[in-house]
């Protein structure tokens, strides 16, 4: 077995589409504790997280945060609330509060791709910083926090301007133990100013605070300010309302799981993948955690007829180096997904080389007609490069294959000209490579080209080793 890196997302998204369905949506509720009298809420207003990863997200599928806040504000108005004599609470109980998987590397935890998961997320749990080099090497880097505003955070900057040509070596370090973050490293003097993305470990509080500020702009005051249910910004002991006792006055929904998994694989979005992973655990056992996520995925794999012998699943995105999966397992899983009711939706989450997203650079030297036949997911980290996916028959578009799989074309799965046996399944994995990633990629691109052009697809049993 090998470290799959982001190829792990193929398993997470496939399992989710198979078990939850493409139309699954997350729900975020607005509710309150206490009573409403004469326009005043004598109690706390709750933003009840349901795991939605798209709240205030930068992604194109997300509803703009102003629109979301406007809907929440309308729920409050409809309930007759004009003032809140209490807190606005970010309720993240949908998942546990272990945001990061235990095996993730320390220097990944402060990055945008290691933000971790919350039952109530905000802006993909990212904190932006505006950075620019100093005038000469050795000077301090010019850093200022960007969106979302977080006046409760203490930021420390120990980063310096590097020599020309040394690139961006900035790292942001933070933890949920305290509202403190530090930017370290170097930023070359010849680099242009940019937005550096770090991790926000207090997303539920961030959501509550920003909604509080929005309400104040609408004339709705809150006497006690924002709060969450954690140790740092939590409500006073003994004042948390049980989840089943909150009076719910409205809810908003996320985009469909189909769209979320599409973005997960096209953009290799770790945050989306980990959210989906914990969601599987929540739906499987009633508790959203990494452990229940692992149990859920193994249950789904069993349902698909895929044995997990010799496989170790640690997280949903592949950020952990303790995921261990073989190329044979990937081929078996990808073959099983062709028989899933979610097959067509699953294939639509996978890009072709040269398309938008993380595959835009792949196989740039090769013809479009070759690349368009490949549906692929990459996985890369230091010393690791993996590609897994499907190769479609010559002269057949992905749209035609998908129409067959959804029953619009009865040829699929029969002895007619197009069937499952015409699709080649591949998984190419490299670990512990000391060569340059560019050189390794060139070799794997050549293998993909030969698989696509030299191996006849007709009669090939899907998933069979070639």
pLDDT tens for each residue of 71-129: 999 999 999 999 999 999 999 999 999 999 999 999 999 999 999 999 999 999 999 99
| Calpha distance 82→37 (Å, rounded) | 10
Q: Could you tell me the two tokens for 274?
A: 């980990």
According to the model, what pLDDT value does residue 405 have? 59
| Calpha distance 241→203 (Å, rounded) | 20
Q: Compute the average pLDDT of residues 416-426.
A: 73
pLDDT exceeds cutoff 80 at 299: yes
| pLDDT tens string 154-198 | 999 999 999 999 999 999 999 999 999 999 999 999 999 999 999
Dihedral angle computed from the Cα positions of residues 207, 203, 142 and 167, in that order, rounded to the nearest 10 degrees: -130
* Domain boundaries along the sequence of the chain: 5-23+257-454, 27-97+203-253, 106-199
Q: What is the mean pLDDT of the chain?
A: 93
Interacting residues of 74 by C-beta distance below 8 A, sequence separation 6+: 250
Query: Please, are residues 7 and 324 in contact by the beta-carbon 8 Å criterion?
Result: no
**For 87-136, what is the HEC assignment?**
CEEEECCCECCCCCCCCCCHHHCCEHHHCCCCCCCCHHHEEEEEEECCCC
H/E element, 347: helix 343-347
CATH of 27-97+203-253, one of 3.40.190.10, 3.90.1150.10, 3.50.80.20, 1.10.490.10: 3.50.80.20
Per DSSP bridges, beta strands 126-132 and 194-199 are antiparallel
Q: Compute the average pLDDT of residues 57-68.
A: 96
CATH superfamily of domain region 5-23+257-454 = DD-peptidase/beta-lactamase superfamily (3.40.710.10)
According to the model, what pLDDT value does residue 395 have? 76
pLDDT exceeds cutoff 80 at 420: no
Categorize the per-residue pLDDT at 403 as very low, low, confident or very high, splitting at 50, 70 and 90: low
**What is the reported pTM?**
0.93
According to the model, what pLDDT value does residue 355 have? 84
The per-residue DSSP string of 409-464 comes to STTTTSSSSS-GGG-EEEEEEE-S--S-HHHHHHHHHHHHHHHHHHS--TTPPTT-
Q: Compute the average pLDDT of residues 387-392.
A: 96
pLDDT exceeds cutoff 90 at 281: yes
């Amino acid at each position: 077995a090998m470290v799959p890196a982001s190829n792990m997302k193929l398993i997470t998204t496939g399992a989710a589409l198979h078990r939850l369905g493409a139309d699954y949506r997350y729900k975020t509720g607005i509710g309150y504790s206490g009573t409403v009298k004469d326009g005043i809420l004598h109690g706390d207003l709750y933003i009840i997280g349901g795991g939605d990863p798209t709240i205030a997200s930068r992604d194109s599928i997300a509803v703009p945060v102003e629109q979301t806040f406007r809907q929440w504000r309308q729920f409050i108005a409809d309930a007759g609330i004009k003032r809140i004599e209490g807190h606005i609470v970010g309720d993240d109980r949908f998942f546990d509060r272990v945001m990061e998987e235990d095996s993730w590397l320390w220097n990944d935890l402060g990055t945008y791709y290691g933000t971790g998961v919350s039952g109530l997320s905000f802006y993909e749990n990212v904190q932006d910083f505006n950075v620019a080099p100093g005038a000469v090497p050795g000077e301090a880097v010019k850093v200022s926090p960007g969106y979302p505003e977080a006046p409760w955070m203490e930021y420390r900057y120990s980063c310096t301007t590097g020599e020309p040509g040394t690139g961006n070596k900035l790292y942001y370090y933070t933890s949920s133990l305290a509202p403190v973050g530090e930017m370290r490293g170097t930023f070359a003097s010849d680099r242009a100013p940019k937005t550096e993305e770090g991790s926000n470990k207090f997303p539920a509080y961030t959501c509550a605070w920003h909604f509080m500020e929005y309400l104040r702009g609408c004339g709705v005051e809150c006497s006690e300010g924002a709060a969450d249910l954690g140790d740092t910004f939590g409500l006073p002991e003994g004042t948390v309302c049980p989840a089943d006792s909150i009076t719910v006055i409205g809810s908003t929904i996320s985009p469909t799981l189909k769209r979320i998994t599409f973005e997960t694989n096209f953009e290799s979005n770790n945050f989306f993948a980990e959210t989906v992973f914990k969601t599987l655990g929540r739906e499987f056992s009633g508790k959203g955690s990494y452990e229940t996520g692992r149990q859920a995925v193994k249950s789904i794999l069993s349902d698909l007829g895929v044995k997990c012998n010799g496989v170790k699943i640690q997280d949903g995105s592949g950020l952990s180096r303790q995921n261990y999966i073989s190329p044979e397992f990937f081929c078996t899983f990808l073959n099983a997904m062709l028989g899933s009711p979610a097959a067509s939706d699953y294939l639509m989450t996978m890009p072709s080389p040269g398309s938008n997203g993380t595959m835009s650079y792949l196989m740039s030297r090769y013809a479009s007609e070759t690349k368009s036949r490949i549906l692929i997911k990459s996985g890369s980290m230091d010393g690791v490069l993996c590609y897994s996916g499907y190769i479609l028959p010559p002269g057949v578009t992905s749209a035609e294959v998908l129409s067959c799989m959804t029953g619009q074309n009865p040829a699929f799965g029969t002895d007619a000209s197009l069937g499952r046996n015409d699709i080649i399944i591949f998984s190419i994995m490299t670990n512990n490579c000391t060569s340059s990633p560019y050189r390794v990629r060139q070799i794997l691109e050549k293998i993909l080209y030969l698989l696509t052009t030299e191996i006849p697809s007709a009669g090939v049993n899907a998933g069979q080793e070639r």
